[in-house]
């Protein structure tokens, strides 16, 4: 990789939801191009298979996949932890290809000697366990809200010259039942992690970036959530014994940094051909 890329021991991404209009693939690609991770944890819902029937798959979404495939070709360890929107991959738990592995959960001993427990988190979602049709209906409603949000942002920025809005975030943070659900989710994950003797519990699913210590009468644990790439544009980074929440800021990137001036813009067929070439290279 070229010099200047920021080194990261462990990178955690979740809830990218490639294949939906709410996915911020271009900012994500800028971020991915700026770093050099040693281990990558894709903690669920990288591709939104629930919404895939819409046949919405822009080049920017394919280029994210291409970049991840490029990391695989360079031997960077990538663990794909399955989520609820890509749950069909759960039948492939244990599958390995080169530096890629598919898992439903992962326990990783970090460089500080502490153990981190990674899983997506939908196992705690009652609507997922008992009423999948209701969860899918909620996903459609959320996707519609994101489309309305895109229109609202266009009006806010282009017409009124103001900043971006986040309607779904305001609703989520303003409704008591949603706040209670998030708190219950975090406490449940932490309590189970404490009972298992882990130092960190790392989740996704609720699209709420967080890093805090949670304690009970059995002990304490650091709860972390990597957020999402729909509204928050966040990731988790582990370096030199400590975790940080990365928050994407367009001002940190030069204009046009995500472009590839040295090569023409590939179409999806060309990008797929590249992926196939990378795949064949792993078997060589």
Contact assessment for residue 224 and residue 210, using Cβ atoms and an 8 Å cutoff: yes
In Å, how far from its chain's centre is CA 76? 17
pLDDT tens digits for 40-58? 999 999 988 766 555 778 8
Residue 277 DSSP one-character state? H
Contact 102, 92 (CB under 8 A): yes
Q: What is the pLDDT of residue 117?
A: 97
The answer to whether the CB of 30 falls within 8 A of the CB of 36 is: no
Cβ atoms 73, 278 nearer than 8 A: yes
DSSP H/E element including 278: helix 268-283
Give 26-40 pLDDT, tens digit per residue: 999 999 999 999 999
Can you tell me whether residue 107 is helix, strand or coil?
strand
Please provide the average confidence, as pLDDT, over all residues in the chain.
79
Q: Are 200 and 243 in contact (CB under 8 A)?
A: yes
Q: Among 205, 212, 220, which residue's Cα sits nearest to residue 12?
A: 205
- Which positions ≥6 away from 126 have C-beta within 8 Å? none
How many Cβ atoms from other residues are within 10 Å of residue 255's Cβ? 7
Q: Summarize pLDDT for 227-261 with one digit per residue, the tens.
A: 999 889 999 999 999 999 999 999 988 765 444 44
- State yes or no: pLDDT of 213 exceeds 90: yes
Domains (range + CATH), the chain = 6-283 (3.60.21.10)
Identify each DSSP E strand in 53-162 by its residue range. Answer: 77-81, 96-97, 100-103, 105-109, 115-119
pTM: 0.77
- For residue range 56-109, list pLDDT tens digits in order: 788 999 999 999 999 999 999 999 999 887 778 888 899 999 999 999 999 999
Give the Cα separation of 103 and 94 in Å (integer): 6
């Amino acid at each position: 990789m070229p010099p200047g890329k920021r080194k990261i021991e462990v990178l955690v991404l979740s809830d990218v939801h490639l294949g939906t209009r709410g996915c911020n693939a271009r900012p994500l690609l800028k971020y991915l191009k700026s770093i050099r991770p040693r281990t990558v944890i894709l903690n669920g819902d990288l591709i939104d298979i629930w919404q895939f029937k819409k046949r919405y798959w822009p080049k920017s979404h394919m280029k994210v996949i291409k970049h991840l495939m490029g990391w695989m070709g360079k031997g960077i360890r990538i663990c794909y932890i399955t989520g609820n929107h890509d749950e069909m991959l759960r039948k492939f738990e244990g599958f390995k290809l080169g530096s890629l592995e598919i898992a439903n959960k992962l326990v990783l001993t970090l460089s500080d000697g502490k153990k981190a427990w990674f899983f997506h988190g939908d196992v705690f979602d009652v609507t997922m366990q008992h009423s999948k049709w209701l969860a899918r209906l909620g996903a459609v409603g959320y996707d519609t809200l994101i489309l309305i949000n895109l229109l609202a942002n266009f009006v806010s920025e282009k017409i009124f010259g103001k900043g971006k809005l986040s309607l779904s975030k305001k609703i989520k943070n303003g409704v008591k039942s949603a706040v209670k659900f998030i708190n219950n989710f975090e406490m449940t994950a932490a309590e189970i992690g404490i009972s298992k003797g882990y130092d960190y519990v790392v989740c996704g699913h609720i699209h709420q970036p967080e890093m805090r210590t949670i304690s009970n009468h059995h002990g304490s644990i650091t709860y972390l959530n990597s957020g999402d790439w729909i509204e928050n544009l966040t990731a988790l980074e582990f370096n030199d014994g400590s975790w940080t929440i990365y928050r994407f800021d367009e001002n940190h990137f030069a204009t046009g940094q995500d472009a590839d001036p040295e090569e023409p813009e590939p179409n999806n067929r060309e990008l797929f051909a590249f992926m196939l070439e990378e795949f064949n290279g792993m078997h060589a």
